Structure 1
Amino acid sequence: MAESGKRDVVFYVADQGMKAMIGAFLDRKDFHHKLDCGPFVFDSRRDIKVSDNKDSELPVRAGALLQSWRGEYERAVVVMDHAYQGAPPVEEIRKRIGDQLEGFWPQYAVVVIDPELENWFWSDHTETIKKALVWRPSKGDERTPRQVLEDAGLWTPGKDKPDDPKGAVDYLHRLKYTAPKNNGIFRRFAEHVPSVRGCRDAAFRQLTETLKGWFPPSGSTTTFMTTTTTEYGQ
């Protein structure tokens, strides 16, 4: 808890899937070691707020929607997908929301996942992905999720991610390779992923670098002010 009596950071996210993944990861006792940051006060039941609005409305209304928590929190993080109809470039979304937060929140970050949350799911951690999906291929099929998607032409060999991260999950579900589709896949993945240091997704890197800047590891004197002008993966 900050010296002001306010809680450390509020996460304002666009949907329940984001709450499941971010909440499950930050609820882990070892999360600060995984992120190489210092510990901070966090409780997913309290510190993640889920928007009732569509992704497309957040660039217009995020500042107003966060107003009611200014007295309770020191910092704010807005997380949303980029994959919605008519979406402007990622940097334009960051700027629009940042303009609304500037002057009201001394420290804030705007994280726009391109294209969407499933991009954080697909990784090199095959066994974690299987556990998250509740992987259940037919007898004799020993392929990994990646191999199934490559054979279907949905994952280009040599690429880090499927060509359509969300469509890849939908495909596996339709073919009964997985348990019923719900936000549990994000929670299970975040609970069991052994490391996130190899993740090269620009939005995830932005989030982790922001938290490291706000909450430096013990012994560090780093200070950090996050704005939407920082470039990642551009």
Structure 2
Amino acid sequence: MSDHKRPCVILVADSNMAAAFRGYLTRDQWHRSLGCAPFDFNPDVGGDLLVDEGGNDPGVYLRAHELLRPYLNTHERVLVALDCEWDGSPGKQAIVDDVSGRLVSSGWQASAIKVIAIEPELENWLWQDNPLVADALRYRGESGLRTVLAQQGFWLADEAKPRRPKEAAEWVLRQTRRPRSSAIYEEIARRISIKGCTDVAFMELNAALQEWFPAEVPT
């Protein structure tokens, strides 16, 4: 791969997802948290981070290869992230296969592509039984946030995360009278434990970054 190209371009489905990536990739010592080597990444939208504001998840599914074609000559690798749950969704494996296949057909090398399809949606990356999540959502109740969500049927005792993560977040924000915004997503992503994120799609993202940008092992 040419040395003059940027390391990676990331295409996401909406501003909340962009904020989450920005939070993960701008935290202090972010590469250590993710277990990869540091790489040059411009987190500003329009830099190395792209948002398909018009199409959202189905738009990214159908047009990622078109949106990313101009970056073939400027970037070495491409990462695409979108939710699995939307009207007409073909499901996780088909999303990954279809988007990857169209990117290869448009000129990207298969080894330089990673498609992250989140089940059911982005909020699954942000939920942890962690007071930092409650703080970002401005929850101040006497009972712990997980206890309250369990009482409301959102978070069962034997589950690592709420079954309906987006609805759970929206319910909490209604209680705290805080509008849902990308700033909340960025704050949570910047502060929560990476090791505490057990979502399969997030672990796929983590593994891809470790493969592309392997951390040096001390000798």
Q: Deviations over 1:24-58 (max 9, x none)?
A: 21012311110111111112111110013131132
Amino acid corresponding to residue 200 of structure 1 in structure 2: T
Other-structure match for 1:30: 29
Match of 2:73 among 71, 74, 85: 71
Amino acid corresponding to residue 28 of structure 2 in structure 1: K
Q: Deviations over 1:69-90 (max 9, x none)?
A: 1111110000000110121120
Other-structure match for 1:110: 115
Amino acid corresponding to residue 158 of structure 1 in structure 2: D
Partner-residue secondary structure (3-state), 2:172: helix
The percent identity for this pair of structures is 33
1:166-185 maps to which residues of 2 (within 5 A)?
166-176=166-176, 179-185=178-184
Give unmatched runs, 5+ long, in structure 1. Answer: 221-234
Other-structure match for 1:131: 135
How much has 1:157 moved relative to structure 2? 1.2
Contact kept? 1:76, 1:109, Cα under 8 Å: yes
- How many residues in Structure 1 have an aligned counterpart in Structure 2? 212
Contact kept? 1:81, 1:117, Cα under 8 Å: yes
Other-structure match for 1:208: 206
Amino acid corresponding to residue 91 of structure 2 in structure 1: P
With normalisation by structure 2, the TM-score equals 0.91
Contact kept? 1:131, 1:188, Cα under 8 Å: no
Q: Distance in 2 between matches of 1:197 and 1:109?
A: 21
1:192-231 maps to which residues of 2 (within 5 A)?
192-193=191-192, 195-219=193-217
Amino acid corresponding to residue 136 of structure 1 in structure 2: R
Partner-residue secondary structure (3-state), 2:157: coil
The answer to whether residue 55 in structure 2 is matched with residue 50 in structure 1 is: no
Amino acid corresponding to residue 147 of structure 1 in structure 2: T
Contact kept? 1:135, 1:179, Cα under 8 Å: no
Q: Deviations over 1:171-220 (max 9, x none)?
A: 112222x6332112111111212x21232211001100000000001149
How much has 1:3 moved relative to structure 2? 5.3
Amino acid corresponding to residue 70 of structure 2 in structure 1: S
Q: Distance in 2 between matches of 1:127 and 1:74?
A: 38
How much has 1:6 moved relative to structure 2? 1.0
Partner-residue secondary structure (3-state), 2:89: coil
Q: Distance in 2 between matches of 1:200 and 1:190?
A: 14
Amino acid corresponding to residue 39 of structure 1 in structure 2: P
Greater helix percent: which structure? 2
Other-structure match for 1:145: 145
CA RMSD in angstroms, aligned pairs only: 1.6
With normalisation by structure 1, the TM-score equals 0.86
Give unmatched runs, 5+ long, in structure 2. Answer: none
Q: Distance in 2 between matches of 1:198 and 1:54?
A: 27
Amino acid corresponding to residue 6 of structure 1 in structure 2: K
Amino acid corresponding to residue 92 of structure 1 in structure 2: A
